[in-house]
Amino acid sequence: MKIKGLLFPFILTLVLSSFGWAQAETAPDTTVKPKPTEALQSRLTRREIMDKLQVTKDQKHLLQQNRAAYRKKIAVIEGQIKVKKVDLENEVEKADPDMDKIDQLTSEIGGLLAQKYSTQIKAELEVEKKILTPQQVEQLKALQGQEVFVPNDIF
C-alpha cells in the first residue's frame, strides 16, 4: 500500500523534471552575475521600471493590456493544470489504478505546461518587438541584469 502512495509523487517529479532537463539542454546559462564588489540591486517595481524606461502613455496602456491578457490566460491554464493534477491523484490512489489513464493525464499536464510557457514567451516577445523601442528593450535588460527575458513574470 505504501508503494501506491509514493507512485504519484514519483510520476509527478519525473514529468516535471523532464521539462527542466529539456529546457536546461536547450537554453545556455545566460544570467549575468554581479561582481563581488557590486551591491545586489533590489528588485524594481513595474512603475519604477516604466519611469526609468520613460514609456509613453500609449506604451503604458499597451503594456497594461498585454499584462492583463497574459495573466488571464495563465490563470486559465493553471486552473486546468490543477484539475488534471487532482484527476491524476485520484487515479493513483485507486485500488487498481489504470496506467493508461495515468499516462494520458501526465501527458495532458505536460501539454498544459508547454502551453503556459508558450504563452509567457509570446507575451514577452510582444513587449520586446511590438511595444518597446529597441533602446528601451536594451535598457530593460540592463535594469534586470539579464541578457534575455526569463519567462517568470511579464513586465
Contact status, residue 88 vs residue 149, Cβ threshold 8 Å: no
Q: Point out which residues pair with 16 in neighbouring strands.
A: none
Cell 527542466 found at: 20
Cβ-proximal residues to 51 (8 Å cutoff; 6+ apart), any chain: none
Residue 146: phi and psi, rounded to 5, are: -130, 155
pLDDT one-digit tens code per residue, 37-83: 444 446 778 888 889 999 999 999 999 999 999 999 999 999 999 99
Contact status, residue 102 vs residue 15, Cβ threshold 8 Å: no
pLDDT one-digit tens code per residue, 85-144: 999 999 999 999 999 999 999 999 999 999 999 999 999 999 999 999 999 999 988 887
Q: Indicate the domain borders of the chain.
A: 1-12+49-155
Question: For residue 12, what are the CA distances in angstroms to 5, 55, 145?
Answer: 12, 42, 33
